């Protein structure tokens, strides 16, 4: 409505309406003059330049959503592949993060250029499925203590709690070593010597009342080998480790260093990604996020 026409209508209505209703008339006509522009169903553009988006509200009253969306998480590769078999689109993208142990599928990703020169188009990227591989309890506990010096009693308890993981020396041999650590808490450790047998001999002096001053020695292996499952329901890997120790004020502190542990983790993850690639026929891209 033009400005002149709007003024004429206001004057006409005020002339036939009580003076107390004049403000209401002006307000109604102003709203009529500023009627929003319909951009698409449920999306409106106001004269102020603002938009009003009611599309989601309108969608709730329809029989079904207009498109698929949502984020879903599974914990094994079989479920991940099965989900993609049901929902994947030609433009679906797969992104792998080996640090987090995740593979994320963006189902409605942008479409790239396809055959016959068909142009690409954008995707909403709001329908996703994520494979989050759980690390095993043993794996997390061994990695968490990697390189940390522990008092001999605490270290012995850790060994006893993880005897099934030992391959060489055996769990039985490591149990005997742990019990020896626990029995030698009232001694002063003095020195160490590396033996040709591949062990380190620790020398100590008894400080108990019954045998004060009596000397002895304790042999510990320089290396050991573990059997660890990185991810739940995944294969078992051999992991080598090296013993570390420190004598401080007569007290013995022990630690271990896992050998190339990141390589083991990456290898376990890469095997899962390789299987996903084979099962889905899709390329998996590496990322440090998502």
Q: Where are the domains of the chain?
A: 3-59, 70-133+270-286, 137-259
Task: Please say whether the beta carbons of 187 and 213 come within 8 A.
Answer: no
Under DSSP, the state recorded for 204 is: E
Tokens of 154: 């605490």
The structure tokens 């004269």 sit at 47
Q: How many residues does the chain have?
A: 290
Please list the pLDDT of the chain residue by residue as tens digits (290 residues). 444 454 455 455 555 545 456 566 655 655 555 677 887 777 778 777 788 777 777 777 777 777 888 899 999 999 999 999 999 999 999 999 999 999 999 999 988 766 666 667 788 889 999 999 999 999 999 999 999 999 999 999 999 999 999 999 999 999 999 998 888 877 788 767 776 667 788 888 877 554 556 778 888 899 999 999 999 999 999 999 999 988 888 888 999 999 999 999 999 999 999 999 999 999 999 998 76
Can you give the pTM of this predicted structure? 0.73
Residues in contact with 126: Cβ distance below 8 Å, sequence separation at least 6, in sequence order: 69, 70, 108
The string over 211-220, giving b where at least 16 C-beta atoms fall within 10 Å of a residue's C-beta and e elsewhere, is eeeeeeebeb
């Amino acid at each position: 409505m033009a400005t002149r026409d709007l003024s004429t209508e206001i004057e006409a209505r005020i002339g036939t309406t009580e003076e107390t209703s004049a403000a209401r008339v002006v307000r109604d006509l102003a709203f009529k003059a500023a009627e929003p522009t319909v951009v698409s169903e449920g999306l409106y553009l106001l004269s102020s330049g603002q938009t009003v988006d009611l599309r989601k509200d309108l969608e709730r009253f329809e029989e079904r959503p207009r498109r698929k969306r949502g984020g879903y998480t599974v914990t094994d590769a079989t479920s991940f592949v099965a989900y993609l078999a049901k929902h994947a689109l030609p433009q679906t993208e797969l992104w792998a993060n080996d640090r987090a142990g995740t593979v994320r599928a963006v189902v409605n990703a942008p479409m790239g250029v396809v055959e016959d020169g068909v142009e690409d188009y954008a995707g909403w990227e709001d329908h996703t499925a994520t494979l989050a591989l759980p690390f095993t309890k043993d794996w997390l506990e061994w990695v968490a203590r990697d390189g940390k010096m522990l008092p001999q009693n605490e270290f012995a308890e850790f060994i006893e709690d993880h005897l099934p993981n030992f391959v060489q020396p055996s769990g039985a041999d490591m149990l005997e070593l742990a019990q020896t650590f626990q029995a030698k808490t009232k001694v002063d450790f003095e020195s160490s010597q590396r033996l040709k047998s591949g062990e380190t001999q620790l020398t100590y002096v008894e400080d108990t009342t019954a045998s004060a001053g009596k000397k002895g020695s304790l042999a510990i292996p320089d290396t050991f080998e573990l059997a660890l499952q990185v991810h739940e329901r995944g294969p078992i890997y051999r992991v080598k480790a090296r013993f570390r120790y420190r004598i401080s004020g007569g007290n013995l502190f022990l630690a271990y260093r896992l050998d190339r542990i990141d390589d083991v983790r990456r290898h376990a993850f890469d095997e899962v990604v390789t299987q996903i690639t084979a099962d889905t026929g899709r390329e998996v891209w590496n990322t440090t996020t998502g």
